Structure 1
Amino acid sequence: MDNASVAPSASPDRTFAILAHIGGLFTSWIAPLVIYLIKKSEAGAEFATDNAKEALNFQITVFIVYMVLTFSFIGLFLIFIPMVFNLVCSIMAAIKASNGESFRYPLTLRLVK
C-alpha cells in the first residue's frame, strides 16, 4: 500500500480517534480524557484531538444522565435507554473515525471546547 492512497489523518491519528470513542464504552469519560490530554499538544493530531474532545463531551453528558436516573425512582427502570444510546452512538462514531470522518454526537453538552 503506497502512502499516496492514505488519507491525511493517517493510521495513528485514526487509531487514537477510534480508541477515544470505543474507550468511552468501557471507561466512561476517562479514556477520552486521557487521549485528549495526550493529543491536544501534539502537532498534526487535530483529527484525534477533535474526536477525543467530542467523545469526552458525550461521555460526560451520558455520565450526568446516569447520575440523574440513578437517584430518581423511575430512572432505575429507564437506565437501559441511555446505555443503548451510548452503545449505538459510540459504535457509529468509531466507524466514522475509522473512515477518516468526524462525528457529532446528538443531544450532547459541549462542555470541553
Structure 2
Amino acid sequence: MKYEDLKILDELREKGSITEEEYQREKEKILNDTPPSSSSAFGGSKPLFGLAENTYLMLMHLSQFLGLIIPLAGFVAPVLMWIMNKDTNANVDLHGKNILNFTISYLIYSAVLAITIIGIPLLVVLGIIYIVFIVMAGVKANNGEYWRYPFIIQFFK
C-alpha cells in the first residue's frame, strides 16, 4: 500500500501538481505511517462495530427514524452513538452536535406550530421536511461530506 501511495505521489510531483516541499512532506507521512492500533475505540476509521466512519455517521443520522417506531428512540439512539465516540473522533462529535441541534430545533418548531390553529397544516410540511433532511444528511455523511441541517438553532457548538 505504501509503495502505491509513493508511486502516486511521485507522479503528482512529476506532473507539477505538487511542489517538491509538498512531495517531501507527504512522502515522510507515508513512510512514517504506522497501521492503526486495533485497541483504539475506532481502529483508525472504524468507529464502532467494525463500521467505516462514513457508515457510522450515516447511521447516526438515520437512527433518528427509530422515533417513528419507538417513542424517544429517535433522540436517544443518535445521542448514545455520539456520546460513546465524541471524544475519540472529531467527525462523530461534529455530526452528533449537528443532530442534537436539529432535533431540539425541530421539536421547538413543532411545539410552536401545534399550539396554533393555522400551524397544524404546517406540522405536516415540517414532518416531511424533517424526513427529507434526515435522508439528505445521511446520504451526505455516507459520501464523507458534512451537511449542516438548515434552520437550526445552535445549542451545541
TM-score bracket for this pair, using the shorter chain length: 0.7 to 0.9
- TM-score, L = length of structure 2: 0.60
| Whole-angstrom CA distance in 1 between matches of 2:96 and 2:54 | 11
Give the aligned residue type for 2:75.
W
Q: How many residues align?
A: 106
List structure 1 segments (4+ residues) > 6 angstroms apart after TM superposition.
Answer: none
1:97 and 2:137 correspond: no
- Which of the two has higher C-alpha Rg? 2
Quote the residue 1:21 is aligned against. 61
> 1:56-96, CA deviations, whole angstroms, 9 ceiling, x for partnerless residues?
11111111111111122211222111111111111111011
1:34 and 2:74 correspond: no
| Whole-angstrom CA distance in 2 between matches of 1:13 and 1:67 | 34
| Whole-angstrom CA distance in 2 between matches of 1:20 and 1:57 | 14
| Whole-angstrom CA distance in 2 between matches of 1:32 and 1:110 | 17
- TM-score, L = length of structure 1: 0.80
The percentage of aligned residue pairs carrying the same residue is 28
Quote the residue 1:81 is aligned against. 125
Q: Is the 8 A contact 1:40 1:49 kept in 2?
A: yes
Which segments of 5 or more consecutive residues in structure 2 lack a partner in the other structure?
5-43, 68-73
Instruction: Tell me: CA distance 1:97–1:35, structure 2 relative to 1, closer, same or farther (3 Å).
Output: same
Quote the residue 2:36 is aligned against. none
**Higher relative contact order, chain-length normalized (CA < 8 Å, sep 6+):** 1
Displacement after TM superposition at 1:110 (Å) = 0.9
Instruction: Tell me: CA distance 1:63–1:83, structure 2 relative to 1, closer, same or farther (3 Å).
Output: same
Displacement after TM superposition at 1:9 (Å) = 4.7
